[in-house]
Amino acid sequence: MSNLPARVTINEEGPREGFQIEPGPIPTARKIELIDALSRTGLRTIQVGSFVNPKRVPGWADVDAVVEGFRRDPGIRYTAIWLNAQGFERALRHRDRLTLTGLALSAASETFLVKNQNKTLADNVEAQRAQLRLYRDHGLESVTAQVMAAFGCNYEGDVPVRAVVEQAAILLDLAGECGFRPRTLSLADTMGWATPLGIRRVVGAVCERWPDLPLTLHLHDTRGLGLANAFAGLEMGVAEFDASVAGLGGCPFAGHTGAAGNVCTDDLVFLCDELGIETGIDLEALIAASRLAEAIVGHPLPGAVRRGRSLASIRHARAGLTAA
């Protein structure tokens, strides 16, 4: 069963997820400071902001200034999200600085889709088709297909694996119709329902149906199983994960007050390091960025290795002692 990948890609979503949910206004300069710190860690994908309605998400009213302000490393894909055509138009203005990847989105729970996106599954097919056509017309290079609530839903409870496969099939078909082959299929544990056994079940069914399709896991650490679930995914061969530095963030629309952020990037990189899986990320630099994130938001954030120190740093200090 163990099929650990040799190398894992981590998409850093901390700035976007975190600054969306923090109650206090965070100065634009500090958002940029965190993005610049993250650019020095070896991360190759950093989601820097969200083109959303500033009335609904005031934390991203300054997204244009943030996107124009960070120090751009040409080796890094800086990404952003938007929720509708208007947001996409705004993102297009920054095409010289951002890698625009279209998101084709559905959910394994129709009730969640209605509550979160105000769309039935049928409405959503039309909406996603319209979005994908827009992406095609604007010459976007790639899209990601994502099935939300893929492991359970606060409104519908446990969701059948079949519903995940069905929605993935619909998104892949829609993408194909518009000339896209999605770069990855992302399975999102939007409300923190996954367990290691659930990960194996869903990832197993998806791999069986599409053996050559790269998968991404988007995991939330709502109930403490984030890293156990990530490990289960790694053992199924999943080689791409979304994560948030210091566990920043959380979804304000997930229907419960305890919505936790993505799995913590620092802890995920630590796990990969200890398993001998390459990430390309310098954990000590990442821990420094994680401390900065905590300083910026001004309250304790999740994530353990930032406090506990990496084992590599302890081994290194010991080697120094031995050599001395």
Q: Which amino acid is residue 118, in one-letter code?
A: N
Please identify, among the stretches 27-35, 90-98, 131-139, 306-314, the one whose residues bind a second copy according to the rule CB under 8 A: 306-314
Residue 159 binding a second copy, by CB under 8 A: no
Q: Which of 256, 278, 280, 295 binds a second copy (CB under 8 A)?
A: 256
| SS3 call for 142 | strand
- 53-57 — which CB contacts under 8 Å span 24+ positions? 53/87, 57/20, 57/252
Active site residue 251: yes
**Smallest gap, in angstroms, from Cβ of residue 65 to a second copy?**
33
Contact between 153 and 109 (Cβ < 8 Å)? yes
Q: Which of 15, 152, 233, 249 binds a second copy (CB under 8 A)?
A: 152
Backbone angles phi, psi at 10, to 5 degrees: -115, 125
Residue 275 binding a second copy, by CB under 8 A: yes
Residue 130 binding a second copy, by CB under 8 A: no
Residue 294 binding a second copy, by CB under 8 A: no
One-character DSSP codes across 166-229? HHHHHHHHHHHHTT---SEEEEEETTS---HHHHHHHHHHHHHH-TTS-EEEEEB-TTS-HHHH
Residue 1 binding a second copy, by CB under 8 A: yes
Q: Rg for the chain (alpha carbons), in Å?
A: 19
Cα–Cα distance between 98 and 219 in angstroms, integer?
24
Active site residue: 153, 178, 251, 264, which one?
251
Number of residues lying near a second copy (CB under 8 A): 45
Site pattern 214..253 for a second copy (x: CB under 8 A) = -------xxxxx-xx-xxx---------------------
Residue 284 binding a second copy, by CB under 8 A: no
C-beta of 62 vs 110, nearer to a second copy: 110
- 86-89 — which CB contacts under 8 Å span 24+ positions? 87/51, 87/52, 87/53, 88/51, 88/131, 88/134, 88/138
Q: Which of 22, 195, 201, 207 binds a second copy (CB under 8 A)?
A: 195
- Mention every residue, 6+ apart, whose C-beta is less than 8 A from residue 299: none
Residue 6 binding a second copy, by CB under 8 A: no
C-beta of 79 vs 116, nearer to a second copy: 116
C-beta of 62 vs 189, nearer to a second copy: 189
Which helix or strand (DSSP H or E) is residue 243 part of? Answer: strand 240-243
C-beta of 170 vs 194, nearer to a second copy: 194
Cα–Cα distance between 241 and 45 in angstroms, integer?
11
Cα–Cα distance between 35 and 144 in angstroms, integer?
22
Residue 258 binding a second copy, by CB under 8 A: yes
Cα–Cα distance between 112 and 134 in angstroms, integer?
25
DSSP structure class, residue 147: E
**Smallest gap, in angstroms, from Cβ of residue 229 to a second copy?**
8
Residue 17 binding a second copy, by CB under 8 A: no
CA 294, distance to chain mean position in Å, is 19
Residue 204 binding a second copy, by CB under 8 A: no
Residue 19 binding a second copy, by CB under 8 A: no
Residue 295 binding a second copy, by CB under 8 A: no
C-beta of 62 vs 221, nearer to a second copy: 221
Binding residues for a second copy, rule: CB under 8 A, are 1, 152, 154-158, 192-193, 195-197, 221-225, 227-228, 230-232, 256-260, 264, 267, 270-271, 274-275, 300, 303-305, 307-311, 314-315, 318
Active centre residues (catalytic): 251
